[in-house]
Amino acid sequence: MSKLLLASAALVTLAANPVLAAKAPVMVPIYNWTGLYIGGNIGWSFGNANTDWTIAGVPFGSTSQTMDGILGGLQAGYNWQLGNLVLGLESDIQATAQKGSSSLIDSIAAIPAIPGIPCVNIDGPNTPCIPGTGTPGTPGVPGVTGVANNEIKLPWFGTVRSRLGFTPSDRWLVYATGGFAYGEIDSNTTLSTGAASLSMSSSSIRLGLAVGGGIEWAFWEQWTTKVEYLYVDFGTINISFAGIAPFTPITTSTHVTDNIIRFGVNHRFGGR
């Protein structure tokens, strides 16, 4: 009888083991952000250019122009994960359709002609003038209106930034980012005064700063997607040109900034 009970218990144990094994929890490895990644992005920029005008050395006025436009580009970087903390470096290059224009009008009033005063004759109209009498007339000067058009373009720019983030839950990364920006800024100013017209073009590579933040999600194996905001400041660009009399010389000081929202996809190389 005891042998029969022992055999029954062994059979019950053997039958139960597969069930217990089937119910054992499966451990899913936590996502690791460490590694090199590359990707692409697309977004929209809300840019702005504020220009101060100086004519003949005297501050005259200011204009503001929007530089909104679509943008897209590529990015690459590297992450180091330390627990819930993620450190990284990232660089990107962007092509944009950003441009904006503004106008400034300046008018100089006409100066009327001043008729001359005849001299005082000694003994009648046909006699010599009394010395020191009479004044010559002066011709009038017509009024002049000058129209200045200013166009600013940002055809491309790039950034080099550090990233500091944390993982509030598995596969999610919230980060802040900051560094420097560089880009090409093109300016074209045209001054018209009636029939006369003059244009001045300038192109320069500017250095500035870039700060922002974003959220990134690892949606499949080594693939992640992100939404990111960046503020970019390219500083002030000073341009001087001769102008057209009487509007000469002319100096413009333009401050260019950018507010960017973009969506990106990255592929990370290495393990899970």
pLDDT of amino acid 19: 46
pLDDT of amino acid 113: 65
pLDDT of amino acid 164: 98
Considering the domain 32-103+143-268 in this protein, what is its CATH number? 2.40.160.20
pLDDT of amino acid 14: 39
How far is the CA of 68 from the CAs of 17, 65, 183, 201, in angstroms? 66, 9, 16, 21
pLDDT along the chain (272 residues), means of 10: 45 46 57 96 95 82 90 97 96 96 66 74 80 71 68 96 97 98 92 78 93 96 96 92 77 93 95 56
Q: Can you say whether the dihedral through the CA atoms of 217, 70, 254, 59 is positive or negative?
A: negative
Q: What dihedral do alpha carbons 193, 149, 187, 259 form, nearest 10°?
A: 160
Domain ranges, ordered by start, for the chain: 32-103+143-268
Of 70, 90, 72, which is closest to residue 80 (Cα–Cα)? 90
Q: Where are the beta strands (DSSP E) in 26-143?
A: 35-55, 58-66, 69-82, 85-108
How far is the CA of 156 from the CAs of 128, 219, 238, in angstroms? 78, 30, 20
pLDDT of amino acid 69: 94
Find the distance separating the first CA and the last CA of the chain, reported in whole Å. 56
pLDDT of amino acid 97: 95
How is residue 122 annotated by DSSP? Answer: S
What is the phi/psi pair of residue 12, to 5°?
-65, -40
pLDDT of amino acid 4: 41
Cβ pair 74, 40 in contact under 8 A: yes
Cβ pair 39, 266 in contact under 8 A: yes
Of 77, 99, 76, 74, which is closest to residue 88 (Cα–Cα)? 77
pTM (2 decimals)? 0.76
